[in-house]
A and B are shown apart, each in its own frame.
Chain A
């Protein structure tokens, strides 16, 4: 079996939905610019790309049809390159990476662009026409709002509000420090929009204090503990990683960030979907033959502080090694784009810090978890 490696990672700036600088940019244009940026940065020969696998959680409207193919055309990739849209909600673009890894393993291609996009400004969560199945709605929490599931996790794990807020403050401070140190510069592709070029994240609030967060009203449940400050904001953004066979990377002199060692998916109860990373991570680590203690880098998507804390606790993650440059509470969570971002980020951090193993994992609406274990390439 051929092994797959990450040979590039870029993303657009992440900006707040509705009022952010990317709110007037079509998601297909956004993704196309990011993919162009990835090709420019890695220098990969476009004709070698087998497929563009693009994750999107609400693939309709401007991110509808087979948006992956449309983005490939918008990015002026050769007509020979394919395009496939993947939907696993928040796990979409991490699944894109998993698919590429599988394709490489079975010899069905050498080079894959694994990307993700979500304009939460232009396509609302739930889409334009939410039509839940009444039978399922009655018998399951499949359609429960994400905020409610975060409250459920907070209650089940007895996570006090102050603890959630402390995590949010850390996330904001780390992201602000990374931004100030220019640590995002290498991954961000400047996006041309109607009102000029956007080259900076618009979501980070480095000045956030626990005191200010403490003054916020609960966002989802009047009697709850989850606020807008301890939730990831609605965000516009796109991300992309280049996944190639290890052989191809070597043959073409592409600098390798990390090897994909193991992956996993697991389902869980929809009403506590935030716990998804626990079992998924355990499965992936077991497949990699690793223990949590072996990890040098963890990217755990912060959909909500409550679920992130529950996962950190259950998995026994080292908080100093988790979300080193901040998480989604600070950076935002453009649903379809987050998976590729955290896989790319984990690979980048592994390289940057000289670590050996990394884990990227996230929860998924409807009750799933997804995880990817990466390994440094000597």
Chain B
């Protein structure tokens, strides 16, 4: 699509949502005017500038970089509204009051350009009401863009257009929201609550009602309504704590006011005394004094949960074990199984009844729930797990209404794979291909029609088209082991002979958590030193073979890419990263140092970095500062600042576009490709190590580094300064690898390193010994 680019955006309303949306526009590299009402005294734009200042202190950060924050220009709607004329898109995110929104639109109509889109972030007010009284020209430019909180990380954007909305303009906005802001656009119809919140609110209300009525504890309810249903661990009560309990009555009032009187939600909507009391006492969830769960600081940070009957807090109980297979769960006897059936059957039936009212097809509904509520499977994918006929028959047996769509499906599933393509059941009773937007490529889709070129226990190689192969990691958390290294060894000649380029990519949330520490610990415990050294040497050799392979290699990481997962990226010719990239060399946290060539690669990058003073120390000091404290980037933009990414590396805002973009980058490098030259280092040797040690000593004295941190950072300093190197001579890449490996092995013999590894495996947190 060659939509006209969006050059400037205005966001009106600097509350949490408006400010967060403005930040995400800025993260896309587009300037934003953020307006709110004028402050009563002092700086008239203080409300908007205060929102920006607050975001700079918020964790997780709404901004991906300091540069993005500078793109937001605060203003106020009295002095600056005319500047809307500079903008291509105005996003209204003011309070949910029709009169206020309508009044604002009337003013906007007078100042905006005709080709400037106006969208509302309303979550409850129908589009038809919003544009009532506006000109045809305004109605043509108007749509609803419903973002989810927080706008940086929540991928769902529900887009609602009206009968008068200009399709090309809506397409332009949707394209920018997708490619620029990284949102997955789901088209929803103009119905109350749109898709995700309509189903989500029903599910939450039902989950609370049923838990109270059936006498379940919050722990029991969340154990059922969480991972066994493919729902995040927060389940229902934990989710309400997260989004804010005080939001519940507002959602209920809004939906009961706007939904038809025979909508099933009307029957379950009720005021719950417990919730009213909690809100009145300030127990509004995690943002307040606590919610259904709380951490009682007066009782030594004890985790507590509320008793749904008495409203009193009590120590949190261990959740009951709940089986993971959906059908077995809803068929199991006892209150947990019955709760699961009640919750699921009503929610799934409700979802099935919303087509075509709320959306065009099942894919839109499932996408909305997986992207907006982080459900692994949307309602229709869950129905497929149970069987549409099973659900229909059990509903009928209980004398409940069977949605027309379930009857239409009969024995069929809502999704199927046909001829290597994923299809969905349309409302016309026929199957249709799921068509991905142009520029979206999923490995999961490719896998439907092909077999891997190579496969081992923890990695596989795929043909992803256009002469490009993709190597994916497949172990838990995509950890790396000898099998990955062996597959790399096999992949290189195969790619060299049959492909133009290689991409390192996985559909998983996390690119790689690094070396498989569990395996390493096992080898340590049986003192298999030879095996471990072989794994280190093998990894070093495999990564260097990748670096000097006769074809370009493009890393395409998303999510976590740490330790060995970061090191493999450092060996790539280029990176196409998802904007949400958390990468770093974190080995020091487990008492080790990078062992697969990461030290040399980082040194080479910093030594070549412009703007750094000359001489042997500046590059070394920067790498030491970054690696000794296990720095992890909080975005791809930050990874660039840390040089884990090179300045020219690409960033894809939309996760779904990552593989496609990486493949294109790889192909662009393939023409006339020559492998990089081997770097030579000029390192200071012992005096550099002493200098770094002095810096570390300062941290130790200030109580910021532990005794063992000093041992580990000294090992790192030894490698980075080249061991016994003399600054008058050069150190080869090979010599540096040997030093890295020997130093790594030396640390492995330290009991305190092993204690760190064990602790990380047991708790997921670093041991500060």
Q: Is A156 an interface residue (CB 8 A)?
A: no
Give CA–CA (A224, B613) in the complex, Å: 34
Q: Is the CB of A132 within 8 A of B702?
A: no
When C-beta atoms are compared, the residue in chain A nearest to B612 turns out to be: A128
A33-41, A78-86, A213-221, A362-370: which one contacts chain B? A213-221
Q: List 29 A-B contacts (CB under 8 A).
A: A128-B613, A128-B615, A128-B617, A128-B618, A129-B613, A129-B615, A129-B616, A129-B617, A130-B694, A131-B617, A131-B684, A131-B727, A132-B687, A132-B691, A132-B694, A133-B687, A134-B687, A134-B689, A143-B694, A145-B694, A145-B697, A147-B698, A148-B698, A218-B702, A220-B698, A220-B701, A221-B701, A222-B701, A222-B703
Q: Is A137 an interface residue (CB 8 A)?
A: yes
Give CA–CA (A60, B261) in the complex, Å: 79
Q: Is B688 an interface residue (CB 8 A)?
A: yes
Q: Is B483 an interface residue (CB 8 A)?
A: no
Q: Which residues of A contact B703 (CB under 8 A)?
A: 222-223
Q: Is the CB of B616 within 8 A of A131?
A: yes
Give CA–CA (A132, B697) in the complex, Å: 14
Q: Is A354 an interface residue (CB 8 A)?
A: no
Q: Which residues of B contact A147 (CB under 8 A)?
A: 698
Q: Is the CB of B684 within 8 A of A61?
A: no
Q: Is the CB of B618 within 8 A of A129?
A: yes
When C-beta atoms are compared, the residue in chain A nearest to B694 turns out to be: A143
Q: Which residues of B contact A133 (CB under 8 A)?
A: 687
Give CA–CA (A253, B519) in the complex, Å: 86
Q: Is the CB of A131 within 8 A of B618?
A: no
Q: With A131-B617, A131-B684 in contact, is A145–B690 under 8 Å at CB?
A: no
Q: Which residues of A contact B361 (CB under 8 A)?
A: none
When C-beta atoms are compared, the residue in chain B nearest to A217 turns out to be: B702
Q: Which residues of B contact A223 (CB under 8 A)?
A: 703
Write the A99-140 contact mask toward B (1 if CB under 8 angstroms, else 0).
000000000000000000000000000101111111001000
Q: Is the CB of B613 within 8 A of A137?
A: no
Q: Is B109 an interface residue (CB 8 A)?
A: no
Q: With A220-B701, A220-B702, A221-B702 in contact, is A131–B694 under 8 Å at CB?
A: no
Q: Is B625 an interface residue (CB 8 A)?
A: no
Give CA–CA (A147, B699) in the complex, Å: 12
Overall SS of chain A's interface = loop
Q: Is B686 an interface residue (CB 8 A)?
A: yes
B693 to chain A, nearest CB (A): 8
Q: With A131-B684, A132-B694, A134-B690 in contact, is A61–B613 under 8 Å at CB?
A: yes
Write the A216-234 contact mask toward B (1 if CB under 8 angstroms, else 0).
0011111110000000000
Give CA–CA (A32, B376) in the complex, Å: 67
Of the candidates A134, A137, A145, the one whose C-beta lies within 8 Å of that of B698 is: A145
Q: Which of B686, B690, B697 has the most CB of A within 10 A?
A: B690
A201-219 CB contacts (< 8 Å) to partner B? 218-219
Q: Which of A132, A220, A222, A224 has the most CB of B within 10 A?
A: A132
Give CA–CA (A126, B692) in the complex, Å: 12
Q: Is the CB of B702 within 8 A of A130?
A: no
Q: Is the CB of A130 within 8 A of B691?
A: yes
Give CA–CA (A133, B689) in the complex, Å: 10
A25-63 CB contacts (< 8 Å) to partner B? 61
Q: Which residues of A contact B702 (CB under 8 A)?
A: 218-222
Interface residues of A, count at CB 8 A: 21
Tell me how many residue pairs across A and B have CB atoms closer than 8 Å: 54
Give CA–CA (A329, B171) in the complex, Å: 62
Give CA–CA (A143, B697) in the complex, Å: 12
Q: Is the CB of B617 within 8 A of A137?
A: no
Q: Which of B616, B689, B697, B702 has the most CB of A within 10 A?
A: B702
Give CA–CA (A224, B702) in the complex, Å: 9
A137 to chain B, nearest CB (A): 5
B20 to chain A, nearest CB (A): 29
Give CA–CA (A343, B647) in the complex, Å: 49
When C-beta atoms are compared, the residue in chain B nearest to A218 turns out to be: B702
Q: Which residues of B contact A148 (CB under 8 A)?
A: 698, 701
Q: Which residues of B contact A218 (CB under 8 A)?
A: 702
Q: Which residues of A contact B690 (CB under 8 A)?
A: 132, 134, 137, 143
Q: Which residues of B contact A126 (CB under 8 A)?
A: 691
A268 to chain B, nearest CB (A): 21
When C-beta atoms are compared, the residue in chain B nearest to A60 turns out to be: B613
Q: Which residues of A contact B689 (CB under 8 A)?
A: 134
A136 to chain B, nearest CB (A): 9
The 7 closest A-B pairs by CB, nearest first: A222-B703, A129-B615, A128-B613, A131-B687, A129-B617, A130-B691, A134-B686
Q: Which of A134, A223, A224 has the most CB of B within 10 A?
A: A134
Give CA–CA (A270, B649) in the complex, Å: 48
Q: Which residues of B contact A131 (CB under 8 A)?
A: 616-617, 684, 687-688, 691, 727
When C-beta atoms are compared, the residue in chain A nearest to B702 turns out to be: A222
Q: Which of B616, B617, B689, B701 has the most CB of A within 10 A?
A: B701
Give CA–CA (A219, B684) in the complex, Å: 29
Q: Which residues of A contact B701 (CB under 8 A)?
A: 148, 220-222, 224
Give CA–CA (A143, B687) in the complex, Å: 12
A128-173 CB contacts (< 8 Å) to partner B? 128-134, 137, 143, 145, 147-148
Given A128-B614, A143-B694, A145-B694, 12 more pairs with CB closer than 8 A: A61-B613, A128-B613, A128-B618, A131-B684, A132-B690, A134-B687, A145-B697, A147-B698, A148-B698, A221-B701, A221-B702, A222-B701
When C-beta atoms are compared, the residue in chain A nearest to B698 turns out to be: A145
Write the B688-726 contact mask toward A (1 if CB under 8 angstroms, else 0).
111100100110011100000000000000000000000
Q: Which residues of B contact A221 (CB under 8 A)?
A: 701-702
B706 to chain A, nearest CB (A): 12
Q: Which of A61, A130, A134, A224 has the most CB of B within 10 A?
A: A130
Give CA–CA (A220, B701) in the complex, Å: 6
Give CA–CA (A332, B614) in the complex, Å: 29
Q: Which residues of B contact A128 (CB under 8 A)?
A: 613-615, 617-618
Q: Which residues of A contact B617 (CB under 8 A)?
A: 128-131
When C-beta atoms are compared, the residue in chain B nearest to A219 turns out to be: B702
When C-beta atoms are compared, the residue in chain A nearest to B704 turns out to be: A222
A58 to chain B, nearest CB (A): 12
Q: Which residues of B contact A219 (CB under 8 A)?
A: 702
A133 to chain B, nearest CB (A): 6
Q: Which residues of A contact B684 (CB under 8 A)?
A: 129, 131
Give CA–CA (A221, B705) in the complex, Å: 11
When C-beta atoms are compared, the residue in chain B nearest to A221 turns out to be: B701
B502 to chain A, nearest CB (A): 39
A197 to chain B, nearest CB (A): 26
A127 to chain B, nearest CB (A): 9
Give CA–CA (A147, B697) in the complex, Å: 12
When C-beta atoms are compared, the residue in chain A nearest to B703 turns out to be: A222
A124 to chain B, nearest CB (A): 9
Give CA–CA (A212, B364) in the complex, Å: 58
When C-beta atoms are compared, the residue in chain A nearest to B691 turns out to be: A130
Q: Which residues of B contact A220 (CB under 8 A)?
A: 698, 701-702
B633-678 CB contacts (< 8 Å) to partner A? none
Q: Which residues of A contact B615 (CB under 8 A)?
A: 128-129
Q: Which residues of A contact B727 (CB under 8 A)?
A: 131
A186 to chain B, nearest CB (A): 37
Give CA–CA (A148, B698) in the complex, Å: 9
Give CA–CA (A218, B618) in the complex, Å: 28
B723 to chain A, nearest CB (A): 12
A59 to chain B, nearest CB (A): 14
When C-beta atoms are compared, the residue in chain A nearest to B727 turns out to be: A131
When C-beta atoms are compared, the residue in chain A nearest to B684 turns out to be: A131
A245-300 CB contacts (< 8 Å) to partner B? none
B340-389 CB contacts (< 8 Å) to partner A? none
Q: Which residues of A contact B697 (CB under 8 A)?
A: 145
Give CA–CA (A291, B684) in the complex, Å: 50
When C-beta atoms are compared, the residue in chain A nearest to B701 turns out to be: A221
When C-beta atoms are compared, the residue in chain A nearest to B620 turns out to be: A129
Q: Which of A131, A134, A221 has the most CB of B within 10 A?
A: A131
Q: Which residues of B contact A132 (CB under 8 A)?
A: 687, 690-691, 694
Give CA–CA (A129, B614) in the complex, Å: 8
